[in-house]
Amino acid sequence: MTDPTENTPPPATRTHALERLRRFVPIAGRDYAARRNYDLGSQGHPDVSGLSPYLRHRLITEPEVIAAVLGRHSASTAEKFVQEVVWRTYWKGWLEMRPQVWADYRQGLSRVLNDGRHDDRLAAASAGQSGIDCFDAWMGELVTTGYLHNHARMWMASIWIFTLRLPWEAGADLFMRHLLDGDPASNTLSWRWVAGLQTQGKHYIARPDNITRYTEGRFAPKGLVTDAAPLSGPPHPPRRPLPADARPDPGLPTGILLTEEDLSPGFLFDDAQGPILGHAGLMSVAGRSPLPVADPVTAFTRDAMMDARARWSGRMGAPGPLSDDPAVIAAWAVELGLGQIVTPYAPTGPTMKALNMLEAMLSEVGITLIRRIRSYDQAAWPHATAGFFRFKEHIPALLGDILPDSVDKL
Ligand X SMILES: Cc1cc2nc3c(=O)[nH]c(=O)nc-3n(C[C@H](O)[C@H](O)[C@H](O)COP(=O)(O)OP(=O)(O)OC[C@H]3O[C@@H](n4cnc5c(N)ncnc54)[C@H](O)[C@@H]3O)c2cc1C
Note whether 31 binds ligand X by CB under 6 A: no
CA distance 52 to 15: 15
Total residue count of the chain as it appears in this document? 410
- Binding residues with ligand X: total (CB under 6 A): 28
Q: Could you say whether residue 182 binds ligand X (CB under 6 A)? A: yes
Q: Does 160 bind ligand X (CB under 6 A)?
A: no
Q: Any contact of residue 88 with ligand X (CB under 6 A)? A: yes
Nearer to ligand X, 170 or 341 (CB): 170
Sort strands 368-372 and 276-282 into parallel, antiparallel or unpaired: unpaired
Regarding 64 and contact with ligand X (CB under 6 A), the answer is no
Residue 307 CB neighbour total at 10 angstroms: 20
CB of 80 to ligand X, least distance (A): 9
Which H, E and C letters describe 131-149, residue by residue? CCHHHHHHHHHHHHHCCCC
Please, what's the b/e burial string for 179-200 (b: 16 or more CB within 10 A of its CB; e: otherwise)?
bbbbbbbbbbbbbbbbbbbbee
**DSSP assignment string, 180-215:** TT--HHHHHHHHHHHHTTTTTT------HHHHHHHT
Residue range at the interface with ligand X (CB under 6 A); choices 107-115, 133-141, 186-194, 342-350: 186-194
Give least dist CB 400 to ligand X, A: 20
* 85, 113, 294, 395: which one binds ligand X (CB under 6 A): 85
| Crossing angle of helices 14-24 and 295-312, rounded to 10° | 100
DSSP state of 10: P
SS3 at position 55: helix
- 48 sits near ligand X (criterion: CB under 6 A): yes
Nearer to ligand X, 192 or 279 (CB): 192
Q: Contact region for ligand X (CB under 6 A) — 112-120, 175-183, 242-250, 367-375?
A: 175-183
Q: Which stretch binds ligand X (CB under 6 A): 184-192, 216-224, 260-268, 308-316?
A: 184-192
Q: Is 87 in the site for ligand X (CB under 6 A)?
A: yes
User: By CB under 6 A, is residue 125 in contact with ligand X?
Assistant: no
- Tell me how far, at minimum, the Cβ of 186 lies from ligand X, in Å: 4
